[in-house]
């Protein structure tokens, strides 16, 4: 068997992604919350959950210093991340990790979360629950057109995770900005951190006159057309973040001291605060959409004259023995790819048969999926409650 080599320039790696069409609910029994101690905790240095501080770039005592220094002096104390200083030193964190069974490759950036609280002070006084929403942080080009045409949306509506430098890689949070793979070719030149911040209308809500975090939170173009407010990182109109979610791992960290201190463990239905407290869905839940990705190889093959014009079909072979040319009688229905050792590695059927004549040039594009392809959303298999985009 003669094999024709494939030009390396004809092979491209392609990644596709899909966001679930519907929002769905992750129930309280699937959200185990643990208390991560502050540094004054009796077993802080032995606590297996203390590694959670590294999600905020805090690996040692020296790393917390920046959260206690003013922004004008190179710190973050008077920014949306300022609460982390008190959290580390006094109140600690609330952390949960969503199981991989409740989402596919990652989480979409628009989410709403309900938490039970009791005995809150200030703006939380008298409340039995608090609602959190994800929101993007405004930067200079957030409201620029993404260039997709006459119905284009703002750049911020094309992002899959936070890209504001001050609140991410410059603070030691999120993925690295390497200038090569991140920002990548499919992100309009915008860095993707892999995280989203959580905000609450019950905590430090300011600077967004006439709008709230609930406005347009679930819209497909929530900022361009839904009136959803962008968060302000610093300054007189600063919005205080209360938590953060890592979209690829499903890890949620709540750091606002008021919410952490008033978290109502008394209504938990199972577990412990060290192993993970779970709650009824009416007390605790997350409404979200997820994403799946698939990586494949796209191969562009040119079938040249005199190539692929032979067949082992017995009737054609008999006809040729009788002197027939049989040109235009060979149909190609399957493409096979082999490695350098002649071992079959991939095969696929064509959408329709190709009739190859002796003098024809024919271009064939083949796509080989490497990882199983895009999977069905979880709500299609486990009967979860769902909503269309645009829910309030």
- pLDDT (0 to 100) of residue 57: 95
- Across the chain, mean pLDDT equals 88
Q: How far are the Cα atoms of 310, 336, 366 from residue 330, in angstroms, in the given order?
A: 7, 16, 20
**Per 3-state DSSP, what percentage of the chain is helix, strand, and coil (rounded to 5)?**
20, 30, 50
Evaluate if residue 2 carries a pLDDT over 80: no
Residues 205 and 268 grouped into a single domain: yes
Residue 70 lies in a domain: yes
Peptide bond into 201 cis (omega under 30): no
Residue range 59-69: mean pLDDT, rounded: 94
State the Cα–Cα distance between residues 283 and 117, nearest whole angstrom.
Answer: 9
- pLDDT (0 to 100) of residue 205: 62
Q: How far are the Cα atoms of 286, 372, 378, 379 from residue 102, in angstroms, in the given order?
A: 11, 19, 7, 9
Residues 190 and 317 grouped into a single domain: no
Residue-wise pLDDT for 223-260, tens only, equals 998 889 999 999 988 999 999 999 999 999 999 999 99
DSSP-derived secondary structure for 211-228: --TTTTTT-TTTTTTS-P
Among residues 241, 260, 290, which one ends one of the domains?
290
- pLDDT (0 to 100) of residue 118: 96
Residues 106 and 203 grouped into a single domain: yes
- pLDDT (0 to 100) of residue 74: 94
Peptide bond into 183 cis (omega under 30): yes
Residue scoring higher pLDDT (211 or 175): 175
State the Cα–Cα distance between residues 155 and 327, nearest whole angstrom.
Answer: 54
- Rounded to two decimals, the pTM is 0.85
Residues 12 and 27 grouped into a single domain: no
pLDDT confidence bin for 39, thresholds 50/70/90: very high
State the Cα–Cα distance between residues 187 and 168, nearest whole angstrom.
Answer: 16
Give the DSSP H/E element, type plus range, for residue 19: strand 11-19
Residue 285, class by beta-carbon neighbours within 10 Å (0-12 exposed, 13-18 middle, 19+ buried)? buried
- pLDDT (0 to 100) of residue 1: 60
Residues 218 and 247 grouped into a single domain: yes
Please report the beta strands in 247-317, taking only residues with DSSP state E, as ranges in sequence order: 251-254, 285-303
State the Cα–Cα distance between residues 257 and 18, nearest whole angstrom.
Answer: 36
- pLDDT (0 to 100) of residue 149: 66
Residues 109 and 165 grouped into a single domain: yes
Q: Which residues share a beta bridge with 246?
A: 195, 251
State the Cα–Cα distance between residues 283 and 116, nearest whole angstrom.
Answer: 5
Q: What percent of the chain has pLDDT over 90?
A: 56
Residue range 47-58: mean pLDDT, rounded: 94
Residue range 170-186: mean pLDDT, rounded: 86
- pLDDT (0 to 100) of residue 391: 82
- pLDDT (0 to 100) of residue 231: 94
Q: How many domains is the chain built from?
A: 2
Residues 66 and 194 grouped into a single domain: yes
For residue 54, report the phi and psi dihedrals to the nearest 5 degrees: -70, -20
Residue 3 lies in a domain: no
Residues 116 and 170 grouped into a single domain: yes
State the Cα–Cα distance between residues 68 and 307, nearest whole angstrom.
Answer: 71
Residues 274 and 333 grouped into a single domain: no
State the Cα–Cα distance between residues 298 and 170, nearest whole angstrom.
Answer: 36
Residue 374 lies in a domain: no
Residue 380 lies in a domain: no
- pLDDT (0 to 100) of residue 144: 86
Structural domain harbouring 314: 8-16+294-369
Residues 249 and 347 grouped into a single domain: no
Residues 111 and 253 grouped into a single domain: yes
- pLDDT (0 to 100) of residue 304: 83
- pLDDT (0 to 100) of residue 345: 86
Q: Taking the CB of residue 378, how many other CB atoms lie within 10 A of it? A: 18
For residue 229, report the phi and psi dihedrals to the nearest 5 degrees: -80, 145
Residue 384 lies in a domain: no
């Amino acid at each position: 068997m003669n094999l024709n080599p494939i030009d390396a320039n004809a092979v491209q790696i392609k990644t596709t992604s899909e966001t679930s069409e519907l929002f769905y609910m992750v129930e309280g029994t699937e959200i185990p919350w643990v208390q991560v101690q502050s540094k004054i905790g009796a077993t802080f240095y032995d606590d297996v959950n203390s590694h959670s501080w590294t999600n905020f770039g805090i690996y040692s005592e020296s790393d917390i210093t920046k959260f206690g220094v003013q922004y004008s002096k190179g710190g973050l104390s008077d920014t949306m991340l300022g609460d982390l200083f008190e959290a580390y030193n006094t109140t600690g964190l609330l952390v949960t990790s969503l199981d991989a069974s409740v989402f596919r490759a990652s989480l979409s950036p628009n989410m709403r979360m309900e938490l039970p609280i009791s005995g809150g002070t200030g703006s939380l006084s008298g409340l039995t629950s608090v609602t959190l929403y994800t929101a993007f942080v405004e930067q200079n080009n957030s409201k620029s057109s993404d260039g997709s045409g006459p119905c284009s949306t703002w750049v911020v509506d094309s992002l899959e995770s936070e890209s504001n430098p001050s609140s991410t890689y410059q603070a030691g949070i999120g993925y690295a900005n390497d200038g090569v793979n991140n920002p990548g070719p499919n992100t309009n030149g915008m860095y993707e951190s892999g995280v989203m911040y959580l905000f609450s209308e019950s905590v430090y809500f300011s600077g967004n006159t006439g709008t709230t975090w609930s406005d347009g939170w679930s819209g497909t173009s929530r900022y361009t057309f839904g009136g959803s407010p962008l968060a302000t990182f610093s300054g007189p109109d600063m919005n205080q973040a209360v938590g953060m979610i890592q979209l690829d791992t499903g890890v949620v960290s709540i750091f606002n001291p008021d919410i952490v201190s008033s978290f109502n463990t008394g209504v938990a239905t199972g577990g412990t605060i060290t192993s993970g407290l779970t709650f009824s869905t009416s007390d605790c839940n997350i409404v979200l959409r997820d994403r799946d990705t698939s990586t494949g190889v796209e191969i562009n093959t040119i079938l040249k004259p005199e190539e692929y014009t032979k067949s082992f079909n017995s009737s054609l072979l008999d006809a040729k023995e009788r002197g027939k040319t049989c040109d235009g009688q060979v149909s190609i229905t399957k493409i096979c790819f082999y490695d350098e050792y002649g071992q079959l590695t991939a095969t696929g059927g064509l959408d329709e048969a190709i009739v190859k004549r002796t003098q024809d040039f024919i271009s064939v594009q083949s796509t080989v999926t490497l990882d199983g392809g895009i999977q069905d959303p979880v709500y299609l298999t486990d009967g979860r409650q769902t909503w269309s985009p645009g829910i309030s």
